[in-house]
Amino acid sequence: MRYSGFKVFTEGLFGNSGWKPAWRDPAPKAEYDILIIGGGGHGLATAYYLAKNHGLRNIAVLEKGYLGGGNVGRNTTIVRANYFLPGNSEFYSHSLKLWEKLEGELNYNVMHSQRGQLILAHSDGQRDALARRGNAIVNQGDDAELWSLDQVRDFAPYLDFEQTRFPIYGGLMQRRAGTARHDAVAWGYARGADRLGVDLIQNCEVTGIDIENGRVTGVQTTRGAIKARKVGMVVAGRSSQVAAMAGMRLPIESHVLQAFVTEGLKPVIDSVISFGMGHFYISQSDKGGLVFGGDLDFYASYAARGNLPMLEHVMEAAMTLMPMIGRAKILRGWGGIMDMTPDGSPIIDKAPVEGLFVDAGWNYGGFKATPASGWCMAHLMATGEPHEVARRFRLDRFRTGHVLDEEGTGSQHNLH
Ligand SMILES: Cc1cc2nc3c(=O)[nH]c(=O)nc-3n(C[C@H](O)[C@H](O)[C@H](O)COP(=O)(O)OP(=O)(O)OC[C@H]3O[C@@H](n4cnc5c(N)ncnc54)[C@H](O)[C@@H]3O)c2cc1C
């Protein structure tokens, strides 16, 4: 079924009785050519592009819970392409271009909204660093504007311009950045993959990876053994645990990241605003809630839930930046498990086991990467060669030293 305004109109006339499930619910077959472990955004996008770009058909996605129940449905939905380092910048640039055509490509409204992102500078040094970043972004072919204090004041008058602890000096605006509805992205890719024949198998946890003579032969799951010649591990916060099933020890620590949403308010914040002096970023959802997130919990954990110390930490940053937020009521908070690498950049690479592939290490930033991650992982799995925009996301860079430390904070997972 193709979605359209006309279809919505005619369904409205006939009691909305003609809608069909957006994807099938097949039982797992005994064997596939390719298995993708993980039905998050990246796993679904990988399956979609394997079928769409490479014409492959005998593919299944194995998801231990329900599609989109992981981080893809828990993030603060920010999409941008304002990375600094070669290796990252061309990849996120490619991703943003895919975002710009995604709704047409998938025939699905993912509510991609290019409302802009403004990163604030709170010192001369920070403003210089943003100018340098802006130049790198423009050289990459994306957009960036260095804004003065007056421009920021005109654009976001609700920020606190009087406070002296973290005075605002200006900011870096990327107008093509913005937000998208996170779970719709998972649903759109799921529907697209299903239409191309991919089996999406929910409630199917992978419990073991079968390897014979150094090559993968399939997986063990809670719904039985499934054979395959190629297996992709695309499980975000669970990457270390799943890789351990293949005898691998990944350079990843898993940490909880929380986000919050307020009650619905009238339109007040019409872009994404990122605080330069703390980990705090905010936007307003189409329902009116202020959506914001903060820093990681500073200890490793697999507990995908919130806690009060980090709530306090995030609220401090919020009140520092925009005291008006103190009048809003928090509706809820939640947590997701982040797969943090020592340099803050991801991995899309072959594993040391023949036929096994890794897509992991997305840190805080994997939502915006969803289209390009799927695109590049599919390219790698189909051709055996890294895609040119993901060629630096190698697993062995932590051994060779060719790291991509965007933040310049050194090899401490929770600081990126
Ligand atoms: C609070 C928060 C805010 C964030 N904000 C942003 C943001 O604004 N912008 C941005 O770009 N990024 C953001 N992120 C990061 C982003 O959400 C993640 O990097 C990205 O979603 C990870 O990729 P994914 O969608 O494939 O992960 P997931 O959705 O977590 O998918 C992995 C899937 O694997 C499944 N799985 C795990 N183990 C197994 C197994 N053994 N067998 C079968 N299935 C398994 C899981 O159930 C899960 O569904 C944020 C994350 C959080 C938590």
Q: Separation of 30 CA from ligand 1 center, angstroms?
A: 27
Angle between helical axes of 370-383 and 182-195 (0-180°, round to 10): 30
CA of 385 to the centre of ligand 1 (A): 25
Does residue 62 have its Cβ closer than 6 Å to ligand 1?
A: yes
Task: Enter the tokens of residue 327.
Answer: 């009048």
Ligand 1, from 67, 75, 282, 347: best to mutate by most atoms within 8 Å of Cβ?
Answer: 75
Q: How confident is the model at residue 294 (pLDDT cuts 50, 70, 90)?
A: confident
Pocket probe mutation, ligand 1, options 235, 239, 313, 314, max atoms within 8 Å of Cβ = 235
Indicate whether residue 77 lines ligand 1 (CB < 6 A).
Answer: yes
> For residue 360, what are the β-bridge partners?
347
Q: How many angstroms separate the alpha carbon of residue 237 from the centre of ligand 1? A: 7
| Ligand 1 in reach of 28 Cβ (< 6 A) | no
Q: Is 63 left (phi over 0), alpha (psi -120 to 50) or beta?
A: beta
* Residue 416 predicted with pLDDT over 90: no
pLDDT of residue 408: 85
Residues pairing with 174 in the sheet: 117
**Cβ(254)–Cβ(304) under 8 Å?**
no
Q: What is the DSSP string of 322-335?
A: -GGGGGSPEEEEEE
Q: Domain segments of the chain: what residues? A: 5-77+183-250+343-399, 114-177+254-340
46 lines ligand 1 (CB under 6 A): no
Query: Residue 174 and residue 197: Cα distance in Å, rounded?
Result: 38
Residue nearest to atom 32 of ligand 1 (CA): 235
Cα of 387 vs centre of ligand 1, distance in Å, is 22
| Range with lowest mean pLDDT among 54-58, 121-125, 336-340, 404-408 | 404-408
Q: Give me 15's structure tokens.
A: 């009691």
- Which of 205, 364, 416 to probe ligand 1 with, by most ligand atoms within 8 A of CB? 364
CATH number of 114-177+254-340: 3.30.9.10
- Per-residue model confidence (pLDDT) at position 55: 98
Residue 333 beta carbon below 6 angstroms from any ligand 1 atom: no
- pLDDT at 412 (0 to 100): 84
Residue 25 has pLDDT above 90, yes or no: yes
**pLDDT more than 90, % of the chain:** 93
State in Å: Cα 364 to ligand 1 middle. Answer: 9
Q: What is the pTM of this model?
A: 0.97
| C-alpha of residue 166 to centroid of ligand 1, in Å | 32
CATH topology of domain 5-77+183-250+343-399: FAD/NAD(P)-binding domain (3.50.50)
Ligand 1 centroid, distance to 61 Cα (angstroms): 15
Specify the pLDDT at position 411: 84
